[in-house]
Amino acid sequence: MEALKDVRILDMTHVQAGPTCSQLLAWMGADVIKFENPQGDATRGQLRDVPNADSLYFTMLNCNKRSITVNMKTPEGAQVFTDLLKKCDIIMENFGPGVLDRFGFPWEKIHAINPRIVMGSIKGFGSTGPYADFKAYENVAQAMGGAMSTTGVPDGPPFVTGAQIGDSGTGLHLAIGLLAALHQARRTGQGQYVEVAMMDGVMNLCRVKFRDHQRLTRGGLSEFSVPTHQGMGAVPRAGNDSGGGQLGNAIRCKPGGPNDFVYIVVQEAVWEALANRIGPELGMPGLAKDPLFATIGERRKNQNAVWEMIGQFALKHTKRELMAILNELDVPCGPIMSTEDLAHDEHVRGREMWVELDHPQRGKWFNVGMPIKLSASPAVIERSPLLGEHTDEILREVLGYDAAKIAALKSAGAFSAPKKAKAA
Ligand SMILES: CC(C)(COP(=O)(O)OP(=O)(O)OC[C@H]1O[C@@H](n2cnc3c(N)ncnc32)[C@H](O)[C@@H]1OP(=O)(O)O)[C@@H](O)C(=O)NCCC(=O)NCCS
């Protein structure tokens, strides 16, 4: 937790895209002040599994942060915000378009208040262009960034992927931008505005699909298991094709349950060993030398037959057995791991990627661990904060407010939701 220990972040982010970024920065040691609307990040109450407790949606994305509630729609709340800006190195937000401007704090004003501060913004589509005014959630970004049109099978509907590439993927992009801008600010004394649009982040993650898009102007795509031809325009959905220079597919195993599959990459270098292992069991001892499959070009042309043969072999083995057989042959492969498999996996536990935590409202729970391992700065994961748990502490320690000032701000409503007007 040493890497960013001298970095303080004013974190106005909510839902998933922003919090996933600030959680990573907190795990690298930054002091992340989660600056919340007095009602709290909406995810605290979404998809609740324990009554009146912060939901897992919230707890899993907001570890190692301190929470302060501030009502930005009061002059006193806006003053607290201004004071915090002067004490922070980074401010970050992922509000809908125009929210900060409506608060009266566009980037120019924030920069004038603290010229060193770096500001990070996530928007669905960025601040310019015809889509700039639109809100976005994960699957909207997957739809519009190219992921959905290339996921699924050609004669089925487009599919979203379970990996949250629109939200968490964009959070990763923002973390990289913030660290680069912070590095520059420490050198020059000048902060800058870092913007990541979810649609742009998804396009970045679909880069190889745009490789294929351009290849289609010159000819069909020989590695695809589905038909392609020159001039077809859009890259088609191609099921579980590897999408790379090596052939790959998900192969069903014993006993045939929904996750009894192994993803197998028939790397050029391993074909002979693989063919010598599966051929004899299939009554094809000469498979390695069969001209239909001898070269990568032939295997591409006849790949559906390759999957058929491997599939027959696989049906006699469980995914774990098949993994062991293939690893012995140096064949790159991976069983399809369910969330249940992963939650009990020895490798995952050993790498601290499924971490048990305690929480005053919900008791024991688990979080996915820190995927970036810094040798001299390992993450120590701590539970997420309760709503406003650190309001007084931050006002005292970070801003140096005394008890009388804090009490006056409280009675002016700086930290609470506006009182609802009584119904007539
Ligand atoms: C995610 C999203 C669709 C949610 O939309 P939403 O629930 O309508 O929330 P918005 O961000 O648009 O607005 C937040 C509101 O809370 C208010 N608010 C937030 N913090 C506040 C505070 N501390 N004090 C007072 N009001 C506050 C804002 O003023 C705003 O109200 P307004 O519209 O009256 O100005 C939207 O925030 C968005 O498009 N974000 C950018 C893309 C993104 O990150 N999407 C992925 C989320 S995982």
pLDDT, tens digit, for every residue of 136-153? 999 999 999 999 999 999
Is the Cβ–Cβ distance between 27 and 39 less than 8 Å? no
Q: Is residue 400 part of a domain?
A: yes
Q: Do both 298 and 265 map to the same domain?
A: yes
Which residues are CB-neighbours of 308 under 8 A, at least 6 positions away?
Answer: none
Q: Is residue 276 part of a domain?
A: yes
Residues 100, 105, 109, 110, Cα dihedral to 10°: -70
Is residue 317 located within the same domain as residue 364?
Answer: no
17 in ligand 1 pocket by Cβ < 6 Å? Answer: yes
pLDDT at residue 420, rounded to an integer: 67
The atom of ligand 1 lying closest to the CA of 134 is: 39
Q: H helices of 189-227, where?
A: 198-205, 207-215
In a domain, 337, yes or no: no
103: CB partners within 8 A, 6+ apart? 72, 73, 78, 81
Same-domain status, 72 and 13: yes
Give the DSSP letter of residue 96. Answer: S
CATH number at 314 reads 3.30.1540.10
Choose, from 11, 41, 167, 212, the residue flagged as catalytic: 167
Any domain includes 218: no
Domain boundary among 286, 306, 331: 331
**Residue pLDDT, tens place only, 219-249:** 999 999 999 999 999 999 999 999 888 999 9
Q: Is 117 in the pocket of ligand 1 (CB under 6 A)?
A: no
Select from 331, 365, 392 the last residue of a domain: 331
CA-based end-to-end distance of the chain: 54
Residue 122 CB–ligand 1 contact under 6 Å: yes
* CATH number of the domain that residue 186 is part of: 3.40.50.10540
Tell me, yes or no, whether 266 lies in a domain.
yes
Do 83 and 59 fall within a single domain? yes
| Domain-located, residue 227 | no
Which numbered atom of ligand 1 lies nearest the CA of 81? 23
The residue length of the chain stands at: 424
* CA–CA dist 170, 216 (Å, integer): 28
Domain count, the chain: 2
- Ligand 1 center to residue 71 CA distance, Å? 13
Residue 341 annotated in active site: no
Instruction: Tell me the torsion sign for CA atoms 358, 369, 167, 37.
Output: positive
Do residue 262 and residue 382 come from a single domain? no
With respect to residue 1, please indicate whether it lies within any of the assigned structural domains: no
Question: Do residue 357 and residue 308 come from a single domain?
Answer: no
Same structural domain, 18 and 167: yes
pLDDT, tens only, 196-206: 999 999 999 99
- The pLDDT assigned to 1 comes to 73
Q: Domain range for residue 303?
A: 247-331
**The 3-state secondary structure of 135-189, one letter per residue:** CCCHHHHHHHCCCHHHCCCCCCCCCCCCCCCCCHHHHHHHHHHHHHHHHHHHHHC
> Among residues 262, 297, 331, which one ends one of the domains?
331
Same domain? 198 vs 70: yes
Same domain, 292 and 401: no
What does residue 132 show for φ and ψ, rounded to 5 degrees? -55, -30
Query: Are 132 and 73 in a shared domain?
Result: yes
Measured in angstroms, how far is the CA atom of residue 38 from the centroid of ligand 1? 13
Same domain as 313, residue 175: no
User: Does residue 90 sit in the same domain as residue 135?
Assistant: yes
**Binding site membership of 89 for ligand 1 (Cβ less than 6 Å):** no
Residue 279: inside a domain? yes
Whether this prediction's pTM lies above 0.85 is answered by: yes
**Angle between the N-to-C axes of helices 168-188 and 17-27, in degrees from 0 to 180, rounded to the nearest 10:** 50
- Read off the pLDDT of residues 2-46 as tens digits, 9 standing for 90 and up: 999 999 999 999 999 999 999 999 999 999 999 999 999 999 999
Ligand 1 within 6 A of CB of 96:
yes
Of 135, 200, 391, the residue with max ligand 1 atoms within 8 A of its CB, to mutate for a pocket test, comes to 135
Q: Is the CB of 131 under 6 A from ligand 1?
A: no
Low-confidence stretches of the chain (pLDDT < 70) are: 420-424
